[in-house]
Amino acid sequence: MNDGTIVAIHIAEIKGEDSVAVTSASAITGEGLENDRSRNPANLRQVLVMDKETLDEFKLIPGQIKENITTTGLDLSNIQPGNVFFVGDNVTLEATGLCDPCHKMDVIEDGLQAALDGKRGILSIVLNGGTFNVGDSIRVEP
């Protein structure tokens, strides 16, 4: 088992705009996060989970690389597609794969796209919706 804590939540309503920090979010079963532009039943990239430890390594702040959930204490390095995130009391997410860093990372800092290869977080879909908050627990099980 792999346990951590949510330290930040971000919602990106409009493509190309900065994400907005929130203290609470609603996950919609099979769709994604309420008010987030990635909310779509056909999307396997509904929610991006990222660890603060990696952000700190690259001197980035939560939300800067467009993640939705920022964690601490959760080792994402061994997460595989099909693993399940248990978020707060009710929400479950299924990992769908690594998030490949795009060219927009180099806008933040030259060379960041290459440096984040394999480290930009885990994409997931919402299996069971509900509300979750900054400070809630998050754990992963196979």
- Count of other CB atoms within 10 angstroms of residue 141: 10
How far is it, in rounded angstroms, from Cα 6 to Cα 69?
Answer: 7
pLDDT at 141: 85
**pTM confidence score:** 0.95
The helix or strand, by DSSP H or E, that contains position 115, with its residue range, turns out to be helix 112-115
CATH H-level, domain 2-141: superfamily: PK beta-barrel domain-like (2.40.33.20)
- Locate 138 and state its tokens: 């998050």
- 95-115 pLDDT tens trace: 999 999 999 999 999 999 999
- 54-96 pLDDT tens trace: 999 999 999 999 999 999 999 998 999 999 999 999 999 999 9
Inform me whether the pLDDT recorded for 1 exceeds 60. no
Q: Determine the number of helices (DSSP H) and then strands (DSSP E) in the chain.
A: 3, 11
In the chain, domain spans: 2-141
Residue 18 pLDDT grade (very low, low, confident, very high; cuts 50, 70, 90): confident
Residue 15 pLDDT grade (very low, low, confident, very high; cuts 50, 70, 90): confident
pLDDT at 79: 95
pLDDT at 142: 77
Sheet (strand 130-133) strand order = 32-33, 24-28, 130-133
